[in-house]
Amino acid sequence: MKRKIVKLGEATLVISLPSKWAKKFNLKQGNELEVLERERDLIITTENEYNIKEKTIDISNLDTKLVNAYLISAYINGYDTIKLSFSKDEIKDLKSKKNLKLIPFIQDIVNKYLIGMEVIELKSSSCIIKDLSRINEGEFDNTIRRIFLMIISLSEDCLNNIKENKTEITTISHSKDNIKRFINYCLRILNKRNYKEPNKVFLYDHIIKELSFISSIYGYIAEENIKRKTKASNDFIEAFTETNNSFKLFYELFYKFSQEKALEIVSSRRKFFDIINEYQYENKKCDKFDLILSGRLTIIVLLILQLTETKMGMELVS
């Protein structure tokens, strides 16, 4: 959108604010705005809250997977009030082929994945979920650091389970759910534009979604490892250790970027593939689970390299 510059007095240049934007934030004469200069860019921000955003969704004919997806999507996209309408008190779960009680199912999603939201009203054919918290700008930085640390902890738990041949993964499942919860919250903050670097929002969005994918893969590895009958090979454990090391290097790079650290990540990637290639192509008795789970680790290693490239791009965005 373009705006013409108007001269006011001898030396003052003025442009008008977009009316939709001003109305959205309830701006009036006398309100203060923050003006930030970034080379050719002039960024104008307000501390005013968004007008309350509401979304109504009819979930009458949906299964558990779709209701879960709708709720999380509405949350991430910044809706403050989500109204659900339904015609039955049960919902079909296609995975188990069972009918579940609808309200407890909805409450479980809210508790697990929607930070700050609460079910505030229940009726026979509807319920209302509302945001009872207030997002502060500084929460984004704290939350994304917490996500990194939780994924590092998850990766170490997965590796220890494999080393010790454990089949109990309750802790890992809880960790994965908790990471998903904070991932959703981070994306919600970005979509409500409560972050101090608006010109980097799309890059942060990409990084957060890739972190979500990485945490999911670690969870899949833990679940699939339960099925193995034999112990993992030393080569696979070494490859897993190198994968975790690569992620820790990216965590360090994210908060203190340097070309040297980026080179360490590239070297770690090369070391990982040297281990995997030697094991897979020179060992004729490879365990099938080692092969399957090595494929999962390969995806994580490649995602870390993509994240490194994204972070390099962020350093170029002033």
Tell me the β-bridge partners of 127.
Answer: 84, 122
Strands 98-101 and 126-131: unpaired
Per-residue pLDDT, 260 = 96
Residue 200 has what pLDDT? 84
User: Would you list the DSSP string of 74-133?
Assistant: HHHTT-SEEEEE-S-SEEEETTTTEEEEHHHHHHHHHHHH-TTEEEEEE-SSEEEEEE-S
Question: Would you state the structure tokens that stand for residue 256, as one six-digit string?
Answer: 């203190």
Q: What average pLDDT values come out for the chain (318 residues) when binned by 10 residues?
A: 77 81 76 69 66 87 96 94 95 93 96 95 94 80 95 96 87 93 94 71 93 96 88 92 98 96 96 89 75 94 96 85
Q: In DSSP terms, which residues pair with 131 in a beta bridge?
A: 117
61: which residues sit within 8 A by CB, 6+ positions away?
A: none
What pLDDT sits at residue 134? 76
Q: 212, 227, 247: which is closest to 293 by C-alpha?
A: 227
DSSP type of residue 200: G
Cβ atoms of 184 and 115 within 8 Å: the answer is: yes
CATH of 54-131, one of 3.30.450, 3.30.110, 3.90.1200, 3.40.50: 3.30.110
What pTM value is reported for the model?
0.81
**From CA 1, how far away is CA 262, in angstroms rounded?**
38
Note the CATH number of domain 139-316: 1.20.58.220
Three-state DSSP state, 24: helix
Joined together, the tokens standing for residue 238 give 């070494």
Rounded Cα distance between 317 and 100, Å, is 48
pLDDT in tens, 89-102: 999 999 899 999 99
pLDDT tens-digit series, residues 223-239? 998 888 888 889 999 99
pLDDT at 162: 92
Task: State the Cα–Cα distance between residues 110 and 80, nearest whole angstrom.
Answer: 13
> End-to-end CA distance of the chain, in Å?
22
Is the distance from CB of 182 to CB of 256 less than 8 angstroms? no
Grouping H, G, I as helix, E, B as strand and the rest as coil, residue 240 is helix
Are 269 and 214 in contact by the 8 Å Cβ rule? The answer is: no
d(CA 185, CA 143): 8
The pLDDT score that the predictor gives to residue 86 is 96
Rounded-to-integer distance, Cα 190 and Cα 210, Å: 15
Q: What does the pLDDT read at residue 283?
A: 65
